[in-house]
Amino acid sequence: MKTILPLVCLCLLTFACAPATVGNDAPTPPMPTDFAIELAGGGGVTGEWHSISVTAKGDVLEDNKRVATVPQSTREELWKLLIQAGFFDMSGEPGNMSDSITVTANGDTKHVVQELGADPDGFGKLGTDCASLIRQTRKPIQ
């Protein structure tokens, strides 16, 4: 376990510092009015999970506590990232340590869980790009 923890930390730092980029210029369908997203991760020895969510109203929740808001443009960019990454076609299997993305749109919810590092260029990059965008554009509540 002592050799795995530094490796996991290095991977998380690498993904956290990656710029949010989009590699597909295909037309994106309009963002649904009920669009919401939750990014979560955890597991391991403690079994703890932590999450960051953006609600349909633009509220940012960290572990279900309202901490900030994001503008409509951030929600639209998150939607675009999901569509261009093919999120609605993704699947995965949980592992000892996992990441998840849950999206609500058009009255449906899609939940994908993948073992940490299982798909760093697809699912992992999508989660990192979404989290970076939220962090960069959020405005703390006063």
Domain boundaries, the chain: 4-18+33-140
User: Is residue 40 a contact partner of residue 114, using CB atoms and an 8 Å limit?
Assistant: no
pLDDT tens profile 105-124: 999 999 999 999 898 899 99
- Give the C-alpha separation, 59 to 66, whole Å: 7
DSSP string, 74-115: HHHHHHHHHHHHTGGG------SEEEEEEEEETTEEEEEEEE
CATH number for 4-18+33-140 (one of 3.30.1330, 3.30.1560, 3.30.1690, 3.40.50): it is 3.30.1560
Tell me if 52 sits within 8 A of 60, measured CB to CB: yes
In angstroms, rounded to a whole number, what is the distance separating the alpha carbons of residues 26 and 24? 6
pLDDT, one tens digit for every residue, the chain (142 residues): 444 434 333 344 344 444 444 445 567 899 999 999 999 999 999 999 999 999 999 999 999 999 999 999 999 999 999 999 999 999 999 999 999 999 999 999 999 999 998 988 999 999 999 999 999 999 999 7
User: Are the beta carbons of 74 and 133 closer than 8 angstroms?
Assistant: yes
pTM of the predicted protein model: 0.80
Question: Token pair for residue 84?
Answer: 């261009």
**pLDDT of 132:** 97
Q: Which two tokens stand for residue 133?
A: 């965008």
